Amino acid sequence: MRKFQNAIYRFMYGRYGHDKLNFFLIIFTLILSILFSLFLRGQFLPSLLTYGLLIWILYRSMSKNHYRRRKELSKFMTLTRPIRSAYRQIKRNVTDRTYRYYTCPQCGQKVRVPRGKGKIEISCPSCRRKFTRKS
């Protein structure tokens, strides 16, 4: 068992491995394959697309071109930043019981205000713009 484990370690040495883009692609491929199996049974093109994505995932994880994989990851993270930021703010508002979090409409700065104070006027610490929200 130990020899096999060492062989895998030697094989993977210098390879890129998995990152957030690969994780997203795996989940996306899984959802696509479930949807295709439910609605497009027996079609050749959806199966080809799913297998193509799986091959791309394996290619990315086995690649030794770290520069290109990091560039792809950077592009992916830039494109998904607004979605991740909105998700993070919603999660904060749901889990934090003492504060509410708002985004300044002018500069985009995140502002934390205490909960349960009713309708209040919030002053942005960055641009000094005032806006009214319910806390």
* 58, amino acid identity: L
Nearest to 118 by CA among 96, 133, 97, 99: 133
The answer as to whether 105 is a domain residue is no
Q: Cβ(132)–Cβ(119) under 8 Å?
A: yes
Q: Is residue 117 part of a domain?
A: no
Q: What is the CA radius of gyration of the chain?
A: 23
- Domains in the chain, number: 1
Tokens for 110, please give them.
Answer: 């995140």
Assessment of whether the complete model's pTM goes beyond 0.95: no
Please tell me the predicted confidence (pLDDT) of residue 25: 95
> How confident is the model at residue 54, as a pLDDT?
94
User: Which residue range(s) make up the domain with 7?
Assistant: 2-95
Rounded distance between C-alpha atoms, residue 23 and residue 80, angstroms: 14
Alpha helices in the chain (DSSP H): 2-12, 20-39, 44-62, 66-95
pLDDT in tens, the chain (135 residues): 788 888 888 888 888 888 999 999 999 999 998 888 888 777 777 788 889 999 999 999 999 999 999 999 999 999 999 999 999 989 988 898 899 989 888 888 889 899 888 899 999 888 889 998 888
Cα separation, 118 vs 133, in Å, equals 8
The predicted structure's pLDDT at residue 44: 76
Is 57 part of a structural domain of the chain? yes
> Which residue from 77, 128, 80 is spatially nearest to 105, judged by alpha carbons?
128
Note whether residue 74 is domain-resident: yes
Q: Could you tell me which residues come within 8 angstroms of residue 21 by beta carbon, excluding any fewer than 6 positions away? A: 60, 72, 73, 76
Separation of CA 31 from chain center: 16
